[in-house]
Structure 1
């Protein structure tokens, strides 16, 4: 398993960058998993499985012929989440900016935001900052996606 994180502040384009990365890897035939860091509580859909969870079930597993969804009444550390998807070729991690120990793509709106994530593990910068002429001064490639 190879993992890369897409990190940045809220509204910086992390999800879009993660989507594009996942699409590109999947198109090349790789099996890709994603882990999303959520601040606060999960926003559960208005589905029957969510209703069962809200009713107090400790765990709910919704199963169809195309996908499954598992809700459990406990949080996970990043390393625990990574161990659950270790059989995939790639894992795209969205968020976990201070916990992820590996390579990352920084989504930033401004040069100041980009600079706050500088470091040897940054593979590239993207997001709104990529349209700024001054972004060329950053140490890693800037991708205007």
Structure 2
């Protein structure tokens, strides 16, 4: 499974700082990193067009402006296993067990916590090794997506039969 780390703490305790430092270090070590920010605010409210599309039956709705937001039903957390990443860092979800939980109490702990995440991530990094038509597929965002999907379904081998 992909490494998932949950950093939680009170407001202004250093959660974002710790995750930002960890992301920079993990990326510099060659990891594909994803980040999830838990918020109590509703961004896809009832009166928005995106919610109207969702209610009409669309399974995935994308709001694309200068930045991009992707909406889909997320009543559970299964989507985390499909994120094409080696490491997923989550800010929040204190009351839910999704990954390794790390509490931060003070912004002065940010560097220490980031280093702890980087160290722990070494143990669970799995290289993507897929063979496509007899050749090892290169490590890429797309291949990580396919790899994580297959891994979440516990598929070990796929053969194409003509």
Same fold (TM over 0.5): yes
Please state which structure has a larger fraction of its residues in helix. 2
* In 2, Cα distance between equivalents of 1:81 and 1:42: 18
Confirm whether residue 143 of structure 1 aligns to residue 139 of structure 2.
Answer: no
* In 1, Cα distance between equivalents of 2:113 and 2:27: 21
Shift of 1:18: 1.1
Confirm or deny: 8 A CA contact 2:4 2:98 kept in the other structure.
no
Extract unaligned runs of 5+ from structure 2.
55-59, 115-162
2:70 is aligned to 70
For the aligned residue pairs, the C-alpha RMSD in angstroms reads 3.4
Confirm or deny: 8 A CA contact 1:4 1:92 kept in the other structure.
yes
- The change in CA–CA distance for 1:16 and 1:81 in structure 2 (over 3 A counts) is farther
Structure 1 counterpart SS, 2:81: helix
Tell me which of 64, 85, 90 is aligned to 1:93: 90
Shift of 1:108: 0.9
Confirm or deny: 8 A CA contact 1:53 1:60 kept in the other structure.
yes
Extract unaligned runs of 5+ from structure 1.
45-50, 110-126, 131-141
Q: In the comparison of the two structures, how many residue pairs are matched?
A: 107
Normalization by structure 1: what TM-score?
Answer: 0.57
Normalization by structure 2: what TM-score?
Answer: 0.52
Please state which structure has a larger fraction of its residues in strand. 1
Structure 1 stretches of 4+ moved >6 Å: none
Confirm or deny: 8 A CA contact 2:5 2:100 kept in the other structure.
yes
Q: Deviations over 1:89-132 (max 9, x none)?
A: 111111111212532332214xxxxxxxxxxxxxxxxx24x4xx
Larger RCO, structure (CA 8 Å, separation 6 or more) = 2
- The change in CA–CA distance for 1:97 and 1:21 in structure 2 (over 3 A counts) is same
